[in-house]
Structure 1
Amino acid sequence: MKSSRTLIVKERTALLRYLQSQYPETKRTALKQLLRHRAVFVNGNPVTRHDHVLEPKDRVVIERGAPAPVCKPSATMPEIVFEDRHIIVVNKPEGLLTIATEKETHRTAYRQVMAYVQEDRPHRGERIFIVHRLDRDTSGLLVFARTEEAKRAMQQNWESAEKKYYAVVEGVPREASGTIRSHLREHPKSLRMHSAPPSDEAKLAITKYLLIRSTRHFSLLEVKLETGRKNQIRAHLSEHGNPIVGDKKYDAHGNPIKRLGLHAYYLAFPHPISGKRLVFKTAIPEEFESLVNEEPGIGYRVSGFGHAKKGERIGKSRSPVETLQAKTSRMGNRRRSGIGFRVSGFGNAKKRRKER
């Protein structure tokens, strides 16, 4: 028994690219097999060339030998934060891909949210569309569109969306707040993003951070993205001496919370249809709190992004300057007892024996 799906093209594009946009969870090779087996029809005619040009209002029909299986929700289903007829916002857990890769095709946020909307309306051919992505090990707010119109509107304006993260990093930044600006490119072998001179491959990346709280060994930062490059926060914080906890790829020394210390907690953008400004927030993950609460009170209370109220303290809190002075005092005491410190990066202190 054959099943078919009919699609109406909205803009000029190549056939394979169009199929990939409609079936983001399907491998490229599988889509090419559909073409090879003459299972794709454009305006009633079978097409086998992947570079066939589609025009607006073309009718594309995909036939399959059997109905496509409907996704089933699993225990990894992200928490639904908001939904209406046009968008759906979820809180993605860490360890879950946004979209399929060659190695993992089933356990993805896309598949689980698709299963959710299909289960709700199984006979209406409900679909979702990718707007942006989060790394597998990053948790937090993720938006899917429920219509092509909403998808196009959001992607066209995504650079203007306001995105903030909580990051737990190793060490303490020397400055309580700052802006990291560089051009990032991907290393062809390690696949790490790194700063490089401006070029076609190296794109401008701007990351702002604000120190919220710190202990002797870890700091909780609020991070705001001005641009959206791959691994931007991870690369920038690592290059500035404070790698994210658990981020072995970007030089973290340990993983005390058994996960990457990065969470997309704040997202604000205009609704793609009504234009109304939407704001979504999630709480600091408990693992982050536990790591920076071992020595409560070293830090500022946050009052908006980029501002710390200098007189307002958390318990017995100290400002970053006071903290540095306290560390300097401790260093002096240790030197007198034969043990000294040398500062590495942005405040990671390492013990060494005093040279005699």
Structure 2
Amino acid sequence: MRKQGLSHALLVQLKRDPGGLLLDGEPAYTCARLRPGAVLQINLREGLSSGTVTPVRQPLAIVYEDEDLFVINKPAGMPVHPSHGNREMTLANALAARYLERGEPFCFRPIGRLDKNTSGLVLLAKNGLSGCLLSGMAGRRQIRREYLAVCKGRLPDNGTVDAPIGRVPGSSLLREVRPNGRPAVTHFERMDDAAGLSLARVWLETGRTHQIRVHMAHIGHPLPGDFLYCPDFTKISRHALHAARLCFPHPLTGETLQFEAPLPRDMAALLEKG
């Protein structure tokens, strides 16, 4: 079962549950041998709970939902997780409220995350099994994300930034290109340009903190509205970055799923001509 993507924690949970593993309707051990025609049934009961997340009703743009996962179009300004200074107005709080209304136990399982001021598609697992499988896919880079970024200046038609990223000494937040940083590779393609700005399609080979923001600033094309790397708020109040496309195989069925979220109004307005 480990080869099917079940984690050690899930296997321990199955072993502890008398009805967790059934072979032809009878309780079975994980070491049981399967006979031709035998039916193995796995029953994973939701045992975890994000009980410390306060339910707070907020609008949610749910792009897709089934019994295993959510895809949500997160607005800029909404953090994914509660943190110090923002315990209630997050994606986790909004989902907790939704589950409370349904009378269902809630466990928050985001697969990857977006910065507070990055808008766009967020993938979340709804149960332990899908969470385990999706996390494995993320580790094998089977979940493909594309971003749209508005950058200062006129970008080349396309390009790749291959430059290691590390922490700025003395700061827990700032990142920069550093010789001793972790490998980071960003690809981009210019889609449009206007008013001294470029719209780029961006995709990553690595997932470093602030990677797109740091790499674009490094090549002289920072994102306007970025309070860390380009604090120019004359036209937009947050960094101009949007998670626009998400593609991955469904963790249980294997069906290829693809989702897109249109460019938000505040970023589109930056490129309006005239």
1:205 aligns with 2:180: no
1:155 corresponds in structure 2 to: 135
Matched, 1:117 2:96: no
Instruction: Give the deviation of 1:169 after TM superposition.
Output: 1.1
Change in Cα spacing, 1:85 to 1:178, as seen in structure 2 (3 Å) is same
Change beyond 3 A, Cα 1:72–1:213: same
State the secondary structure of the residue aligned to 1:233. Answer: helix
CA shift in 2, pair 1:243/1:114, >3 Å: same
Question: In 2, Cα distance between the equivalents of 1:285 and 1:139?
Answer: 8
- Structure 1 window deviating more from structure 2 (133-142 vs 154-163): it is 154-163
**CA shift for structure 1 position 130:** 2.2
TM-score (norm 2): 0.77
Which moved further from structure 2: 209-218 or 228-237? 209-218
Q: Which has the higher strand share?
A: 1
Q: Distance in 1 between matches of 2:101 and 2:10?
A: 27
Are the structure 2 counterparts of residues 163 and 109 from structure 1 closer, same or farther at C-alpha, using a change threshold of 3 Å?
Answer: same
1:73 alignment partner in structure 2: 57
Q: Structure 1 residues 102 and 188 mapped into 2: Cα distance closer, same or farther (>3 Å)?
A: farther
C-alpha displacement at 1:10, in angstroms? 2.9
Give the match for residue 219 of structure 1: 198
Q: Give 1:261 shift.
A: 0.6
Per-residue CA deviation, residues 232-251 of structure 1 (Å, 9 max, x unaligned), is 00000000101101013113
After TM superposition, list the pairs within 5 Å mapping 1:97-108 onto structure 2: 97-108=79-90
Q: Which amino acid aligns with 2:57?
A: P
Residue aligning to 1:17: none
Paired residue secondary structure (2:96): helix
Q: What is the 5 A alignment of 1:137-152?
A: 137-152=117-132
Distance 2:261 2:160 in 1: 24
Unaligned runs of 5+ in 2: 1-8, 13-46
Following TM superposition, by how much is the alpha carbon of 1:11 offset from its aligned partner in structure 2, in angstroms? Answer: 6.2
Residue 54 of structure 2 contacts residue 93 of structure 2 at CA under 8 Å; is this kept in 1? no
Q: Which amino acid aligns with 1:154?
A: L
Rg larger in 1 or in 2? 1
Note the residue ranges of structure 1 that are not aligned, 5 or more in a row. Answer: 1-8, 13-60, 296-356
Secondary structure of the residue aligned to 2:207 is coil
Which one-letter code corresponds to 1:184 in the other structure?
Answer: I
Q: Higher relative contact order by CA 8 Å / sep ≥ 6: 1 or 2?
A: 2
Identity of aligned residues (%): 28
Q: Does 1:262 align with 2:241?
A: yes
Q: Secondary structure at the match of 2:252?
A: coil
2:163 counterpart SS class: strand
Q: 1:255, 1:281 → 2: CA distance?
A: 28
Q: TM-score scaled to structure 1, two decimals?
A: 0.60
Kept in 2: contact 1:169–1:242 (CA 8 A): yes
* Alignment partner of 1:185 out of 159, 166, 169: 166
For the aligned residue pairs, the C-alpha RMSD in angstroms reads 2.3
Q: Of residues 223, 229, 251 in structure 1, which corresponds to 2:208?
A: 229
Once the 2 structures are TM-superposed, how far is the Cα of residue 188 of structure 1 from its aligned partner?
Answer: 3.9
Which residue is 1:130 aligned to? 110
CA distance in 1, matches of 2:53, 2:268: 41
Cα distance in structure 1, aligned partners of 2:77 and 2:190: 26
The answer to whether 1:84 aligns with 2:66 is: yes
- The answer to whether the Cα contact below 8 Å between 2:65 and 2:71 also exists between their aligned partners in 1 is yes
